């Protein structure tokens, strides 16, 4: 059974850091795109970052570029999102998702991703 489980969310002050984890079970993350998306109340779902296992390419939304880093631990079948210099506007539920293939410049399109986790809440507030 394919399962993605996010963890690592929480409450952090502006300027702080969090590391989100997306642990996959029931399948290997190899040959997949693994994306992080987020959704704040009243907002549409937004693509944050993605990791292409075919060539280890990484992609970032402009809003998080330079602050967030996506990485993968093959041995643990887990993808991480290191979030630094967090801002209140980063507050959202963060979801990881996987899709088979390599999407290149279309990495941000949620329709490419087939399996989704349950989400983890990130709140940035003083």
Reported as a single tens digit per residue, the pLDDT across 31-65 is: 899 999 999 999 999 999 999 999 999 999 999 99
- Residue for token pair 């959704």: 39
Give the pLDDT confidence score for residue 31 in this predicted structure: 80
**Higher pLDDT, residue 64 or 1:** 64
Q: Give the chain's mean pLDDT.
A: 95
Q: Tell me: the pLDDT tens digits for 111-124? A: 999 999 999 999 99
**What would the mean pLDDT of 66-74 be, rounded to a whole number?**
97
Cα gap 102→64, rounded to integer Å: 21
Give the pLDDT confidence score for residue 19 in this predicted structure: 98
Asked if pLDDT for residue 102 goes beyond 90, the answer is no
**What would the mean pLDDT of 89-110 be, rounded to a whole number?**
93
């Amino acid at each position: 059974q394919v399962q993605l489980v996010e963890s690592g969310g929480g409450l952090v002050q502006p300027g702080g850091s969090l590391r989100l984890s997306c642990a996959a079970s029931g399948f290997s993350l190899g040959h997949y795109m693994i994306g992080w998306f987020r959704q704040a109340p009243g907002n549409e779902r937004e693509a944050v970052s993605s990791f292409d296992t075919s060539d280890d390419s990484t992609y970032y939304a402009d809003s998080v570029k330079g602050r967030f880093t996506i990485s993968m631990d093959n041995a643990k079948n887990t993808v991480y999102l290191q979030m630094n210099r967090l801002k209140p506007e980063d507050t959202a539920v963060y979801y990881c998702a996987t899709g088979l293939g390599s999407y290149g410049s279309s990495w941000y399109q949620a329709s490419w991703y087939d399996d989704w986790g349950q989400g983890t809440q990130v709140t940035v507030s003083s």
